[in-house]
Copies of this chain bind each other. A is one copy, B any other.
Amino acid sequence: MSGGTPDQQAAEADRDAVLAANQALYEALETGDLEAVEQAWLGAGEADDKGGVVCVHPGWPVLRGRAQVTRSYMLIMMNTEYIQFFLTDVEAEVQGDVALVTCTENILSGGEAEEEGELGPLVGGKVVSTNLFRRTGDGWKLWSHHGSPVLTSGDDEDED
């Protein structure tokens, strides 16, 4: 889908960059790379003096600021042997220097193995996420992440 006016091309490039930043977050989580997760978020100078980054994990209260957010990912990684994200229903909208991404995280995760060297029981789960990015000199960075469990059995009945 190349072509279009320079404005359209710029908008498409923005959207692609935001989607790549979103994908990078989940890849960092899959590989358990805490440093890469930290890199995905707004840096200290950009965020902490202005109220800072905000994060809600499924079922959790609001976490504010880089220190709380990083600690939460450390806790999650410590308690997760294996995690894989299949993203579906990914939509991105850019408004100036802010971008809103929503997606469904179809998660396959593994608990602790019963025997060493084995993989623990795998659990599937569905989480919907609202990820908010801000444009920085170092690319698009996460300003806010809100993930929540999908508890209903499906879409509205009248969608069927």
Interface of A toward B, CB cutoff 8 Å = 50-51, 54, 56, 58-62, 64, 71-72, 75, 89, 91-93, 95-98, 100, 102, 104, 128, 130, 132, 134, 143-144, 146-152, 154-156
Contact = CB atoms under 8 A, between A and B. Distances in A.
B96 A96 contact: yes
A64 B96 CA distance: 21
Given A98-B96, A132-B100, A64 B91 contact: yes
A95 B148 contact: no
Contact of A59 (B71, B130, B143, B150): B150
A50 B93 contact: yes
A92 B117 CA distance: 47
Contacts of A134: 95
B98 A54 contact: no
Contact of A61 (B51, B58, B155): B155
Nearest to A100: B144
A97 to B, nearest CB: 6
Given A61-B128, A128-B62, A91 B51 contact: yes
Given A64-B91, A96-B96, A58 B143 contact: no
A143 B100 contact: yes
Contact of A146 (B96, B146, B155): B146
